[in-house]
């Protein structure tokens, strides 16, 4: 293999990015067996294994890591518009998108996104992960495509786009012995709560704001996820403060009532985030546009939350 061509460089770049030969098929435009054959030629050409199979996928050898800066420069010179020229066909793609989602996004937004996919992208899959302190690293490495929620720590190297403003509501079981359709300030302070501990989300601002007002709640139970809060509230006398759109969703079961909070609480913006490495990647662009179209200023909480 005396000479290399652009497709060889693309193979090395994509396998390095995805950690997988199979996942490189779509962007490279070759079949999995064809990529494997080309990799064998490339290994002989460089006299190095280039990639080694590990529990985390195809990991590059030090030799390949040293070649990557030159590969990127060569592709910029030879194919300056390579990312823009790639085509993403959602109707035919079998790609699995990896999303970092806040709890409320998993419960409220994800079902709507799946309905959209059914019509325009029936073969696409989704893998969901919680937002946490690793979200930025995962977006940077490509292990997550897009994150949706409130992520105060994502700044340098990340793009972000506002989807909607979220507020809070209180939830209680429908047949609560003391709380009926309206929540007074006295009840708000005297009832016991199940509360979320989630430093990487907008929820982390809530208790700080209440503390500044001298409005300390009586916390009975602390949990790390909102995913089971609805069931807990439905079978106990505990209350919970949750994002208002989630309160709407939970109230649809008939077991829970959504109530307006009788004291001021902060609002926050729900955004989608992605790393600059994938800003022009066609599939990533398509996914972001779909979510922007679907969720921009989606209807809020007011009609479903009982007035004070």
Given a cut of 90, is residue 97 above it in pLDDT? Answer: yes
CA distance 41 to 8: 9
- Inside any domain, residue 1: no
260, 246: one domain: yes
Q: Give a yes or no: residue 90 inside a domain.
A: no
Give the integer Cα–Cα distance in Å for 31 and 186. Answer: 66
For CA atoms 45, 49, 53, 56, give the dihedral sign. negative
Is position 122 within any domain? yes
Q: Examine the pLDDT at 83 and tell me if it is beyond 60.
A: no
- What token pair was written down for 198? 């989630």
Name the residue with higher pLDDT: 187 or 155.
187
The predicted structure's pLDDT at residue 201: 64
Residue 57, pLDDT score: 84
Angle at 203 between CA 197 and CA 207, to 5 degrees: 80
The more confidently predicted of residues 289 and 1 is: 289
Number of structural domains (the chain) is 3
Q: Which residues pair with 266 in a beta bridge?
A: none
Structure confidence by residue, pLDDT tens digits, 25-42: 777 777 888 888 889 989
Contact (Cβ atoms closer than 8 angstroms) between residue 98 and residue 130: no
Alpha-carbon span 242 to 91, nearest angstrom: 36
Q: Is the dihedral of CA 138, 155, 159, 296 positive or negative?
A: positive
Whether residue 62 is contained in a domain is answered as yes
Range of the structural domain that residue 16 is part of: 6-85
Q: In the structure, what pLDDT confidence band is assigned to residue 169 with cuts at 50, 70 and 90?
A: very high
Last residue of a domain, one of 53, 85, 117: 85
Same domain, residue pair 35 and 77: yes
The predicted pLDDT at position 80 comes to: 60
**pTM exceeding the 0.75 threshold for the entire prediction:** no
Tell me how far CA of residue 128 lies from CA of 83, 124, 294, in angstroms: 25, 13, 18
| pLDDT interval class at 302 (50, 70, 90) | very low
CATH code assigned at 134: 3.40.190.10
d(CA 147, CA 273): 5
Rounded to the nearest angstrom, the gap between the alpha carbon of residue 92 and the centroid of all alpha carbons in its chain is 23
Average pLDDT, the chain: 86
> In terms of domains, do 174 and 258 share one?
yes
Pairing assessment for the beta strands 192-196 and 218-223 based on DSSP bridges: parallel
- Residues whose CB falls within 8 Å of the CB of residue 263, separated by 6 or more in sequence, listed in order: 185, 188, 210, 213, 215
133, 197, 202, 115: which is closest to 162 by C-alpha? Answer: 202
Q: Are residues 145 and 293 in the same domain?
A: yes
CATH number of residue 15's parent domain = 1.10.10.10
Report which of residues 261 and 54 the model is more confident about. 261
pLDDT at 200: 57
The pLDDT assigned to 163 comes to 93
pLDDT bucket at 84, cuts 50 / 70 / 90: very low
Q: Is the pLDDT of residue 3 over 80?
A: no
How are beta strands 168-173 and 240-243 bridged, if at all? Answer: antiparallel
Residue 304 lies in a domain: no
101, pLDDT greater than 60: yes
For residue 308, being part of any structural domain is answered with: no
pLDDT tens track for 195-213: 988 765 667 778 888 888 8
Answer yes or no: is pLDDT of 308 > 50. Answer: no
Nearby residues of 172 by Cβ (< 8 Å), 6 or more positions away: 179, 183, 191, 233, 237, 239, 256, 257, 259
Q: How many CA atoms lie within 13 A of 140 on its CB side?
A: 10
């Amino acid at each position: 293999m005396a000479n290399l061509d652009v497709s060889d460089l693309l193979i090395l770049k994509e396998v390095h990015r995805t950690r997988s030969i199979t996942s490189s098929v779509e962007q490279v435009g070759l079949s999995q067996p064809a990529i494997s054959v080309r990799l064998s030629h490339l290994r002989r050409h460089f006299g190095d294994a280039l990639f080694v199979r590990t529990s985390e996928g195809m990991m590059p050898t030090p030799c390949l890591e040293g070649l990557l800066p030159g590969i990127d420069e060569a592709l910029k010179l030879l194919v300056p518009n390579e990312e823009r020229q790639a085509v993403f066909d959602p109707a035919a793609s079998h790609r699995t998108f990896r999303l970092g989602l806040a709890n409320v996004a998993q419960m409220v937004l994800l079902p709507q996104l799946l309905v959209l996919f059914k019509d325009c992208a029936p073969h696409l899959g989704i893998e969901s992960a919680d937002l946490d302190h690793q979200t930025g690293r995962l977006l940077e490495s490509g292990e997550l495509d897009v994150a949706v929620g409130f992520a105060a720590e994502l700044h340098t190297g990340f793009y972000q786009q506002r989807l909607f403003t979220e507020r809070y509501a209180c939830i209680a079981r429908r047949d609560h012995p003391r709380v009926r359709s309206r929540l007074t300030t006295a009840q708000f302070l005297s009832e016991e709560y199940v509360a979320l501990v989630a430093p990487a989300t907008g929820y982390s601002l809530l208790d700080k704001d209440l503390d500044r007002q001298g409005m300390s709640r009586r916390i009975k139970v602390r949990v790390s996820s909102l995913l089971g809060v609805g069931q807990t509230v439905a079978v106990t006398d505990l209350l919970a403060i949750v994002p208002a759109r989630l309160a709407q969703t939970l109230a649809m079961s008939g077991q829970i009532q959504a109530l307006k909070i009788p004291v001021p609480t902060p609002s926050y913006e729900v955004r989608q985030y992605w790393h600059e490495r994938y800003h022009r990647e066609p599939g990533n662009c398509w996914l972001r546009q779909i979510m922007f179209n679907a969720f921009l200023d989606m209807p809020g909480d007011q009609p479903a939350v009982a007035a004070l």
